[in-house]
Structure formats: structure tokens, C-alpha cells
Amino acid sequence: MKSGRFKDKVKMFFKKFGLLLDETLFPINFRCIFCDNDIPDYENKPFCESCEKEVEFNNGNKCLICSAPIENEAMICDFCQKEKRYFKKAFCPFVYSGKVRSAILGYKDSNKRYLASVFTKFIAKEVSESEIKFDIITYVPLTDKKRRKRGFDQAELLAEELGKCLKIPVKRLFVKNKDAKTQKFSNYKERQQNMKGMYSLSGEKLKKTDTVLIVDDVITTGATVNYCAGLCANKVKEVYACAIARNRYKEKTDES
Ligand SMILES: [Zn+2]
Ligand SMILES: [Zn+2]
């Protein structure tokens, strides 16, 4: 696409002179979000045909609560049957695997901030189809230290985009007090133990009539979002969660 090439040229110009150019200045890049090929209809489909075949949409059988893909016919996954969930339901349009995983890592670690608005459209579609009326959108935050290091907070940016998209106010309900040591091989139970004191409420005013939507980039086991939901669950009417993608359950994971 022409304007895509023009933007690339502008970027090259800035690169040549050693200037750092924020991706957010060019929010749409008109290329497949997964493989960077030019595509004809970015607005409606921000990926190319070959990537579309490979990308795993989370539209098969999935847990009615946490949205985890389920291999059999069960309605509720084993985790949600065993563990108390403080959120009523999670909306996750993609399965966290393959190209989606790479794109999310690129968004977070390679500062591809323009992807926030692209991913948000998919989340917004699922959320609006639920017809639930949300009063507050919030997010699972990074620690201030991590946010400074990364330059932005990936879940906060998604929440802001979602707020704009759905016209719902975004508030910072949670504070992350410390980073986990390493969660590399921890299972759900270990994660929950590890999480004690990691997040707390920010002090933002909440009403018993509020319905809250918590945004995260990825839901892996659901432990993090469940912990945050638990912090505010008894202060509001209902809590829901959403993320770009939902991980398949397995004992060993590589993301928090
Ligand atoms: Zn592609
Ligand atoms: Zn579940």
C-alpha cells in the first residue's frame, strides 16, 4: 500500500539521522501484523491470507469462565471447577500460540505500540457482543520500574484503546508493588503463593453498582487476573476480564 511505503520512507529518514521515532506517531502500518507483508484491506483484516490460515482464533470449545481452549466437550475447565474465580468471564479472541504469540512479544518487547489499537478491535468485538454494560475499564499494571524500562505499560495501553473504542472510562485500580522472582516453571498454586502482596488496590473510588473489566495482554493460567479481580470483587457489582490471547493450560509456561 502506498501510504504504508511512504511511512516506511519517513521512518528510514528518521533512522538515517539517528532520531528515535515513536511508533505511536504512525499508528497504522498497513502491513500484516504477523508477517509484515502488504495487505489490501487493513481496516477490516489486518493480516494476510496465509497468516490468517495459521493464526489460531479462540473460537473453538472454550471454558465459559476463563476462556481457556478445551479439547473435550466440557463447558468449564478443570481449573475453574477447582479454583474460586473472582471474575465472571474472560474475553480472549486469540489462542496464545505461534504467530499471535510472536506478535504480542513484538508489541511488548520491541515497542510495536501501534499493535495496541489493532488487537483492541478484536477484544472490543467480543466485549460488545456480550452486551454487558461496563462502568470501568482497568488493567493489570506493571511495576513503575518495569514501566520505565519498557517505556510503556502494555496492558494500560490496551485498556486506553479499549476505553476509546467502547467509550468507557479507564481507571487505574491496581498497583503492582514488586516483580516476581521468576515464574518460569511455576504452576497455578505456586503462582498464587508468589503473588501475595504483589498487587494492591490503588485507592480509586469504587461503587457497589460498578461492573469492572480488567485488561491484560495475555491470560496464561488466569492466576494474575484472578488475584486482581479478588482485590476489588467485594467492592463492586461484578468483575470481568479480557486479554488479546488465552494460553492453553499446561504445567509449564514461559509467561506470567
Ligand atoms: Zn501475514
Ligand atoms: Zn476456566
Please report which ligand is nearest the Cα atom of 35. Answer: 1
In the reported structure, the alpha carbon of residue 39 is separated from the centroid of ligand 1 by a whole-number distance in angstroms of 8
Q: Please report where in the chains the cell 511512504 appears, as a residue.
A: 6
Q: Supply the pLDDT for residue 45.
A: 85
Q: Which ligand is nearest to the CA of 241?
A: 2
Domain parsing of the chain, residue ranges: 60-246
Taking the CA atoms of 123, 253, 228 and 109 in sequence, report the sign of the dihedral they define. negative
For domain 60-246, the CATH architecture is 3-Layer(aba) Sandwich (3.40)
pTM for the complete prediction?
0.84
pLDDT, residue 254, reads 44
How is residue 142 written as a grid cell? 506493571
Distance 215 CA to ligand 1 centre (A): 26
Alpha-carbon separation of residue 60 from 51, 67, 95, 214, 222 (angstroms): 18, 10, 10, 23, 19
Ligand (nearest to CA of 79) = 2
Per-residue pLDDT at 6: 65
Residue 46 CA to ligand 1 center (angstroms) comes to 9
Distance, CA 203 to ligand 2 centroid (Å)?
29
**DSSP designation for 23:** G
Q: How many angstroms separate the alpha carbon of residue 134 from the centre of ligand 1?
A: 34
Q: Which ligand approaches the C-alpha of residue 65 most closely?
A: 2
CA of 81 to the centre of ligand 2 (A): 7
Give the burial string for 179-218 (b: 16+ CB within 10 Å, else e): eeeebeebebeebbebbeebbeeeeeebeeebbbbbbbbb
On the 0-12 / 13-18 / 19+ scale of CB atoms within 10 A, 148 is exposed
28, 42, 197, 236 from 36: Cα distances, Å: 12, 12, 41, 42
Please tell me the distance between residue 111's alpha carbon and the centre of ligand 2 in angstroms.
31
- For each of the chain's 256 residues, which pLDDT tens digit applies? 445 566 666 656 555 554 445 444 444 457 898 988 888 777 778 899 899 999 999 999 999 999 999 998 899 999 999 989 999 999 999 999 999 999 999 999 988 999 999 999 999 999 999 999 999 999 999 999 999 999 999 999 999 999 999 999 999 999 999 987 765 656 767 777 778 899 999 999 999 999 999 999 999 989 999 999 999 999 999 999 999 999 987 644 444 4
